[in-house]
Structure 1
Amino acid sequence: MSDVLLHTAGRAAHLTLNRPRAINALSHAMVLRIAEALTAWEHDPTVGTVVISGAGERGLCAGGDIRAVHDDARDGDGTASAAFWRDEYHLNARIARYPKPYVALMDGIVMGGGVGVSAHGSVRIATERSRIAMPETGIGFVPDVGGTHLLARAPGELGTHLALTGATIGAADALLCGLADHHLPSGALPAFVADLADLPVPEALARHVQQAPEGELDGQRAWIDACYGGADTVEEILHRLLAHGDPAAKETAQTLLTRSPTALKVTLEAVRRARRLGSLERVLDQEYRVSCATLATHDLVEGIRAQVVDKDRDPHWSPATLAEVSDADVDRFFAPLGARELGLAPTG
């Protein structure tokens, strides 16, 4: 059976990610199949709405197939991963500009590449089961799939906090940060989806949208903005977190100390640059440079090994400390790729 199931019901066309045992992690073939379906439906006058969901009970999508990236970075030359990211990032941009309503059911786990196929959509539905995150620094990687674009636009320094820590958030916090638009109880999703067969999206939403359960980030804005705002370095952020009186700030500092020092510094720079770049396409071009650069690093292979392959949860980062990661080391991740650029943003 296909890893992406396609069907239509009335005026709605449905994409179902169908790798439930892997929480619907995205492969390159899945990305290509989604893109092909979007092209067909864009030109089909009988399709009024596109809906993306995940098979199984655990979530929409846990991210990209990082085991394949691990094996390619360790044993190959990185070309397979670079080709996957090229098509994936083009898909992310395509979703953001799709001319028909694109409804993402962000129920359960939605992380990494799962954010990329949902949070750029025009209608993003979170539920009380939503667990949304960009957890890349924990595997020696940097938020991608347009994640730095989304997080750079979150209120205050919430996006910086989420990008560096990889913290998981629920529906209310996703709404606050601009990663989702509406909250529906998970039990209401089948009826909402059934309504999309006959109704325009706004009418279907009006029948089912409810207030989201209270989140956490709004109450933490004071210390998050104080600790991250205006800090030029990860070291300064850590200093502020450890010196702050709120226990949650100190807990966050301890979390950051477990992350890849290189990934932390590159992520901070990527989010700050994304704020200045503006368009999603320009940010995706930047993320492609960064992602390709990680393929040559120790930390990407080591981080995926520790978290996903061996699951010992004990990565040995190299360099091991923030002090050992120089500005020049960070700058190399943003170096132009010449003929290998992603090329989404217009030049000239």
Structure 2
Amino acid sequence: MKRTIPPLLTAAALAAGCGTVSTSASSGGGEDAVTVESCGRDVTVDGVPERVVSMHPSLTELLVQLGVGDRVVAQAQDALGEPSPELAAEVDAITSISADVPPTREDLLAQSPDFVISGTEYEFSAEQGFAGYEDLEKAGAPAYVATAGCIDRRSEGAVADTFTDLENLGRIFGVEDRASELVTQAEQDLAEIEEIIGDDDPVRAVQVYVEGGKLYAIGGAVEIDVLRLGGGENLFAGDSRFDDFFAAEVNPEVVVDLQPDAFVFAVNDAAHEEQTRAYLEQTLADTPAVRNGLLVAVDNTYVQPGTLSAITGARIVAEALHG
């Protein structure tokens, strides 16, 4: 199925004020209820969720890593990235209710979820035909959004925001110890990446996304934090075209003028990577990055809000730029 919205840009409509997301907070709560904060809302979960729907494969991975993958009855947008190899069997075994766009309101509610987790708030845009917060609340399915994917934080989102999500999800699913273990391991993994970079200066880089023959530059969000952690310098830092949103379509000449030493780009699969490399090599040939072949592909799953796989993305970047 042809994707109609580039996965890196799915919150664009909301950021521009073109979508409708209900901001009603979950209410109620019995003795076993857990309340956490998500994008300015108090989300209350009564008991440990049994029928979870994950709105992106990166979130599915996080739930599997927490040891609660057996509670995920369905996932969405699973064509927007390849699962991490060590998690692929468990992730691929989960039913998909949409390939590369969020599920419709009807398809999501048909799963009878009691908890829904998403990487961004876009997936709850009622105006787009998706189930909004109010729809899910009425159905008894609290909605949680990854911290780095909240509308008011999307452009500044960081890999470490996932530590907040792990704390919250640990409480919701009653797996606090496992959540703490994952944070400790993640911190160790980040320290190893720092060792790869060592005393090297950051490599002058531009992060891009190519879709449908169009070139998008990335100026912020988790994507750029992955670049930073991997020892890259974002050449679009401070550029006003990213004041309102973390990504923007740009003319190739804008990128050529920056003369980046490296390109980092997200891909959905092997075919998308091949197409992107061909585009960069043909369109941005007059850059040191292309001349020196420093084109670094990172799976789309590795640059999403709310995933520990972003650390794998940072390692890929660090090894390519500094290894």
**TM-score normalized by structure 2?**
0.27
Higher relative contact order (CA 8 A, sep 6+): 2
Q: Which has the higher strand share?
A: 2
**TM-score normalized by structure 1?**
0.25
Q: Which has the higher helix share?
A: 1
